């Protein structure tokens, strides 16, 4: 969940609509949406932790008896995690439904946010260096304008 310290994940998919990742095939992939759900749940897990809720860690599925199934991956674990339906010592645990209404609590995470140009990825080292300088300049400009106010 981190990209150059900006705190988010990026999942790239091919533009080819005939790609195997858009269809289910037990020979090629299992539960192809799993990576999206997994990364989304990490963001909800982080929000809950920052608000002080005690929830199971997303990667602790085995501790609660959930195995990675050959055909469905961790689908059962994710469903129970999202609906607070994990059995633990006679209680149901998981993400409290309040998480779906909360904003991330730390404004500093977004104070100097930048839109990253993923649709314009560098094609060589010169473009990559140019993008680094452009991003650094934009952050400096944002901070300077706030200091002047």
Q: What are the sequence ranges of the domains in the chain?
A: 1-108, 112-149
Task: Tell which residue, 110, 111, 108, 120, has the closest CA to residue 146.
Answer: 111
In this prediction, residue 117 has a pLDDT band, given cuts at 50, 70 and 90, of low
Does the global pTM surpass 0.75? Answer: no
pLDDT value, residue 79 = 94
Rounded to an integer, the average pLDDT of 77-81 is: 95
Burial of 84 (0-12, 13-18, 19+ CB in 10 A): middle
| Residue that wins the pLDDT comparison between 82 and 119 | 82
**pLDDT(122) > 80:** no
Q: How many residues does the chain have?
A: 149
**Contact indicator for 74, 68 with CB cutoff of 8 Å:** yes
pLDDT over 70 for what percent of the chain?
A: 64
Instruction: Report the run of H or E that residue 47 belongs to, with start and end.
Output: helix 34-50
């Amino acid at each position: 969940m981190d990209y150059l310290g900006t705190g988010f994940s990026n999942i790239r998919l091919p533009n080819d609509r005939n790609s195997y990742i858009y269809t289910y095939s037990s020979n090629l992939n299992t539960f192809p949406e799993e990576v999206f759900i997994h990364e989304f749940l990490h963001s909800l897990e982080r929000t809950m932790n920052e608000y002080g809720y005690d929830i199971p860690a997303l990667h602790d599925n085995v501790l609660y008896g959930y195995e990675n199934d050959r055909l469905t991956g961790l689908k059962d674990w994710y469903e129970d995690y999202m609906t607070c339906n994990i059995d633990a010592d006679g209680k149901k645990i998981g993400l409290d439904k309040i998480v779906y209404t909360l904003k991330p609590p730390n404004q500093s995470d977004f104070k100097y946010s930048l839109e990253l140009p993923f649709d314009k990825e560098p094609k060589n080292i010169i473009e990559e260096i140019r993008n680094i300088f452009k991003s650094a300049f934009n952050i400096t400009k944002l901070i300077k304008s706030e200091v002047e106010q």
